[in-house]
Structure 1
Amino acid sequence: MSSHTVLHDPHGLIEAQLPLDRAPYEALVTTALARTNPTLSVRDYEQITLQPTGHARAPAADIARHAAAPPKNDGRGALADVILRETNRRLAAPAAGTARCVQNRARLVRALYARLDRLTEPLPAAT
């Protein structure tokens, strides 16, 4: 008999209520973009690439949730759709074991956070 409870949350409602822990991933992005280490092996780069690749899905999911919320006449939703399509295209590409791949995934995370920040900022008041 198992003591585990299976959670069925197909719409990600529980995840939507949890704040993103951005600090460690922003630090990883900063580090990845600041330097390359030519002594790392292909396998090392492949392992490092997994972090920004996996984490990119979290801000992308938040962007998708926020994009569904604005009024139809708000252009932020349409822009978010474009960003999500580009994100899916970039994440679908196989990860290469290179510093360039790590940096590209780090740039993607940085861009997703920037877009999420813009999407969640309040609209200016109409005058």
Structure 2
Amino acid sequence: MSGTHTVLYDPHGLIEAELPLDRAPYEALVTAVLAWTDPHLEPRDYEQIALQLTGHARAVAADVQRHAAALPKNDGRGALAEVVLREAAGRLSAPLMGTAHCAQNRARLVQALVVRQIGKRCR
């Protein structure tokens, strides 16, 4: 236990794997954010939206990683997933800014990861 919260040790992501992702609210958020032309929000509002999208991007990336790990080593889909995951990790490591541009970048990242995630399940 650390401070006022408990730190869970889950190196294989089993807890997260058991929780289905609720896509609908995030799909709606991604659609809304990508439709912005000049929203005039406060910087803290952009940051909160980007944080929500970042959390969902991390959850989807973990799901893509689990599916990619289950593929045979010579399957090209696994290699493509690894490229997408490396790019996602780089984009997620960028600091959040209180701007529409930052929130839209996170929305594009979620969109790209979801396409990869759905592609893994449909094949």
Is TM > 0.5 for Structure 1 vs Structure 2? Answer: yes
Structure 2 unaligned runs (5+)? 1-5
Please report how far the alpha carbon of residue 15 of structure 1 lies from its aligned counterpart in structure 2 after TM superposition: 1.6
Distance 1:24 1:39 in 2: 22
Which residue does the alignment assign to 2:3?
none
Contact 1:67 1:76 in 2 (8 A): yes
1:85 matched to which residue of 2? 86
> What is the letter of the counterpart of residue 82 of structure 1?
V
The superposition leaves residues 81-120 of structure 1 with CA deviations (integer Å, 9 ceiling, x where unpaired) of 1111100000000111111111110011011000011112
1:25/1:52 contact within 8 Å kept: yes
The root-mean-square deviation of aligned C-alpha atoms, in Å, is 1.8
The share of aligned pairs that are identical, in percent, is 70
Give the superposition deviation at 1:7: 5.2
Amino acid at match of 1:69: A
| Mapped contact 1:36–1:99 kept (Cα < 8 A) | no
Post-superposition Cα deviations, 1:49-95, rounded to whole Å, max 9, x if no partner, equal 11101110011000110111111221011111111110000000011
The answer for the alignment partner of 2:102 in structure 1 is 101
Q: Does 1:58 align with 2:59?
A: yes
